[in-house]
Chain A
Amino acid sequence: MFYYKSHRPKYISPNGWDLVAMLMILGALSVLAWGTAQMIAPYQVGQSLPIYLDPSCLPEYAVYTIVRMFIALLLSLIFSLIIGSLAAKNKHAERVLLPLIDILQSLPILGVLSITVVAFIQLFPNNLLGPESAAIFAIFTSQVWNMTLSFYQSLKSVPTELHEAASIFHLSKWARFWRIEVPFATPALLWNTMVSMSAGWFFVVASEAISVSNQLITLPGIGSYINQAILSADLHAIFYATLAMLIVIICYDQLLFRPLLKWAECFKPSQSFEDTLSQQSWFYDLLAKTRLLKKIQSFFTVIKDWFINLSFLKISNIKYPVLPLPTKNYLPSTLFIWYTALLGSTIYLTFFLIRFIHQEIGLTEVFYVFYLGSITGFKVVVLVLLASLIWVPIGVWIGLNPRLAVICQPIAQFLAAFPVNLIYPVCVYFILKYQLNVNIWTTLLMILGTQWYILFNVIAGVTAIPEEIFLAAKNFGLKGWIWWYRLILPAVFPFFATGAMTAAGGCWNASIVADCVKWGEHELIAVGLGSYITQYTSQGDFPRIALGIAVMACYVLTLNHLVWQKLYNFAIKRFS
């Protein structure tokens, strides 16, 4: 049981569309930023909600945080179903959507949040709904791309025979979607939701308290509780908050995801050994025993039947799809308009982006920001290497002890889900106390949360090696270095590559928070792209935020396509 192994969306090689998508997104963001900058003058932040550090308030705050998470999750799910199927079924939409998602995935979520929060506040003036929507939107963007890609990939791989059976038995398109496509995609979608969710906790904490344009906007929740604790340098409060977060994550895991995973077992075509071992849920078993649930279930079955067989949708679909599923033939003029509009908006947005940034910022500063980016990039690479040096041997050791692996695997996954930005202040406390070098020691914070991806992927890799191979190695007396580089390292490599890739992606996002940490009166700032974005966010300098985001997206994209994807593809071809 591990994230990412089998459900990783296939790598799509970049092409001209990537550039188009990139320019469009960045351009659109700068329009948004420009718009909000125009609107910011008359803006007055309403009363800033007081956050109480009394632990008895924490449950209430925790509920707010959970609700935010849940709404974002629901929105992501709906978005995935709609956009995923659009991309899978319409060639012309696919051509634009895939690169768009690729780019959107690599945007620093917290950087974008600083722009969107102002936009949302303008959308709902004098109302808490504004910052609320912004926070939910940030969580949404941290989850949705992964889920959409997963759903798209699943739709693309529905076996032809199932489509044929659906046509032979006259299922309407609507019924086909709910009877075949959605169930087929469910296991992979659920896994990816879980992965996205673990990333989401980090952002829910970060987005609840954000300072934009010298204004601190706080929403009731665990994240702002922590923020308040940092401001008042209260270690006890931080401890309580961490505890509350732990409980929340455990509840989500045990009460929501484990039962769902167990339930999703029935969507898999066959039961593999690995699955029967891992998908256990006491809560599911408990529910399965209750009589009430059976009643509810049969009630839902009736609803579902009615929903799937909605008659008015059938009439409109009297024609049954013929195979291979036809790509609709649009009129050449329609296509011409579609692609011209795309090209036009791309050009317009590109110009807008350049002008927006260039009005305020000279070329030297652009170069300077690229320089900052390379520093952050360097940090990411070094951190991943360091973490690998530590966690690969430990992971191998754990993986070789099956009993230990069973215990450690879920712990590592849990640690990956835990929002480490909660404990950043503790680290600051120690840095201050022992007068440590800010640039080195805050850097370590970046990988604190994501190093676990390396660990549990390596564990998974080792446990996946067939017992026979170990026996053969023993038989031929493989030992020491040869044992490592002929047996273990190649076998684990594909898994390691996946883990390292995820860890590196997480590092970039974390750098925005980790480069600039506070404790009471003290503020530690490290040199890097992250602190650049954070500083200009609190000043509300939108052209510079846009520049920072654009540069970071450039770096992440380049690294993804030139290093990680190549590495991953090589690993798949060579070692599996």
Chain B
Amino acid sequence: MPQKELIKVQQVNKSYKNSEGQARLVLETLNLTLYEGEFVALVGKSGSGKSTLLRIISGLIKPTEGDVYFNSTPVHDPVPGITMVFQNFALLPWLTVLENVELGLEAQGIPRKIRRQRALKAIDTIGLDGFESAYPKELSGGMKQRVGFARALVVEPKLLLMDEPFSALDILTAENLRNDLLDLWHSDNTQIKGILCVTHDIEEAILMADKIIIFASNPGRIHAEIPITLPYPRDIQSPEYRELLTTVYNYLISSEGNVKHKTKHKSPFMTRDNKIPAYATRLPDVGVSELTGLLETMHSQSKDDKVDLAALAEALHLDVNNLFPLTDALVMLQFVTIDSGHLLFTEAGKLFVAADILQRKQIFAKHLLTYIPLGRHIREILDAKFKHRAPKEYFINELIDLLGEEETDKALKVIIDWGRYAEVFAFDFDADTLSLENPQ
């Protein structure tokens, strides 16, 4: 049956310029179509540009190149018919629930009486009656997000965009709200013709969507599309569900030059000579104790030094945003490898888990200097410097043009944490200096 296109994204590129005028590519030649009646989930590691895509579709951000069509008309600004539910609710604290819901109608210039009627109806539909005169700060997170939904529904949208709508909620509340949303979506009580939802919870994506689109990062692009045809309500225990889960994890693992340094893709930074030193690599934002914790949990759960990634994530309640930085870091440090949805200990990884505190530090130091180019680079600079010290500023300046401000801060924060643990170098917070000396 020929389906009607609701949203069409054509050849969209998005790049941001840093202060030096260099462009950083966030989305690369992206094509996507959302048909009427579809619920699509966007999944990807953090920084893969899925939120940026959502904002481009909504008209909040303009693409650098390419076009977005909504019902075959191009989108340049926020248009009526597309609405959004936000991660942190974006409610106005100084308006009551009712006034918050009325906000969109008020802006359309709808008379007071009518907008009140419509708002009350939306509040009713979403299960908020009784809370009309409450202020957002009196509500729990779940109730706040219900206000967010009511506010979005009341303007009678054709397309509902959701930016990690359940990620600020606790597990039980999220589940409850998800079910209510699915009921609403299947009930035909609304005008909504399509839903596009950014999420980092894979389970959530499989439970709700008709199609999962997996993003790859650096630069952001579509890596895979997985249609889901399981009937609702979906059963977490069913073998089909488990199979899908493994598939999604496998796609996510392969969604980046996950192993060591990506060489295949063009760097997101287009420098003049296109030669980027190895130390200018992003580092996943994880601390040493998290890494050790994960290795220890793996150890206790592993059979033949092998752990199922999906099962591990489930057991530790880790979503995409939490799990993959950890596994990325362990792979970078060569304590584990990844093979078809499983984490495998390397020899060094096994040694590390078995070692005592001091031995662990030594192993970590060796791997830091061997496999993490930024760690080695800092050590080499400090070795060469007079008095073996260098201001943090020095490394910031080296990295900032290549990584951008945010990634530079992150990388230095991480490498300082790792370096201090491994006692490879020291950092003086007051003086903002890295050095080789340890405090007396």
**A positions within 8 Å CB-CB of B:** 159, 161-162, 164-165, 167-172, 175, 179-180, 183, 186, 266-271, 305, 308-309, 311, 314, 319-320, 322-323, 574
Contact check, B92 vs A168: say whether CB atoms are below 8 A apart: no
Question: Can you list 5 A-B contacts with CB-CB less than 8 angstroms, sorted by A residue number?
Answer: A162-B92, A164-B84, A169-B104, A320-B78, A322-B62
> Is B227 among interface residues, defined by CB-CB distance under 8 A?
no
Secondary structure dominating the interface of B: loop
Contact check, A170 vs B93: say whether CB atoms are below 8 A apart: no
CA distance A311 to B89 in the complex (A): 28
User: Which residues 131-145 of B have a CB within 8 angstroms of A?
Assistant: 135-137
Contact check, B93 vs A164: say whether CB atoms are below 8 A apart: no
**B positions within 8 Å CB-CB of A:** 55, 58-62, 76-78, 80, 82-84, 86-90, 92-95, 103-104, 106-109, 112, 135-137, 151, 155, 430
CA distance A269 to B139 in the complex (A): 12
Contact check, B93 vs A179: say whether CB atoms are below 8 A apart: no
Contact check, B77 vs A169: say whether CB atoms are below 8 A apart: no
A164/B109 contact (C-beta < 8 A), A266-B135, A574-B430 known: no
CA distance A269 to B144 in the complex (A): 12
Q: How far is the CB of B23 from the nearest CB of chain A, in Å?
A: 16
Nearest-neighbor residue (CB-CB) of B86 within chain A: A161
CA distance A305 to B76 in the complex (A): 29
Most chain B beta carbons < 10 A, residue from A169, A270, A305: A169
CA distance A191 to B59 in the complex (A): 37
A168/B94 contact (C-beta < 8 A), A179-B103, A322-B59, A322-B62 known: no
CA distance A180 to B107 in the complex (A): 13
With a CB–CB cut-off of 8 A, which chain A residues contact B103? 165, 169, 171, 179
Contact check, B93 vs A266: say whether CB atoms are below 8 A apart: yes
Most chain A beta carbons < 10 A, residue from B59, B93, B107, B108: B107
Q: How far is the CB of A102 from the nearest CB of chain B, in Å?
A: 24
Nearest-neighbor residue (CB-CB) of A175 within chain B: B107
Instruction: Identify the 10 closest CB pairs spanning chains A and B, nearest first.
Output: A169-B104, A165-B90, A161-B90, A183-B94, A269-B93, A267-B94, A170-B107, A171-B107, A168-B84, A167-B78
Nearest-neighbor residue (CB-CB) of A324 within chain B: B61
Q: How far is the CB of B20 from the nearest CB of chain A, in Å?
A: 18
With a CB–CB cut-off of 8 A, which chain A residues contact B90? 159, 161-162, 164-165
Given contacts A170-B78, A269-B137, A322-B61, 16 further A-B contacts (CB under 8 A): A161-B87, A161-B88, A164-B90, A165-B84, A165-B103, A168-B82, A169-B83, A175-B106, A175-B107, A266-B93, A270-B137, A309-B109, A314-B109, A320-B78, A322-B76, A322-B77
With a CB–CB cut-off of 8 A, which chain B residues contact A323? 55, 60-61
Contact of B86 among A165, A170, A175 (CB under 8 A): A165
A311/B109 contact (C-beta < 8 A), A162-B90, A168-B78 known: yes
A170/B104 contact (C-beta < 8 A), A320-B78, A322-B61, A323-B60 known: yes
CA distance A111 to B260 in the complex (A): 67
With a CB–CB cut-off of 8 A, which chain A residues contact B62? 322
Q: How far is the CB of B176 from the nearest CB of chain A, in Å?
A: 22
Contact of A169 among B88, B94, B107 (CB under 8 A): B107
Q: How far is the CB of B432 from the nearest CB of chain A, in Å?
A: 10
Contact of A320 among B61, B77, B84, B109 (CB under 8 A): B77
With a CB–CB cut-off of 8 A, which chain B residues contact A164? 55, 60, 84, 86, 90
Contact check, B93 vs A268: say whether CB atoms are below 8 A apart: yes
With a CB–CB cut-off of 8 A, which chain B residues contact A168? 58, 60, 78, 82-84, 104
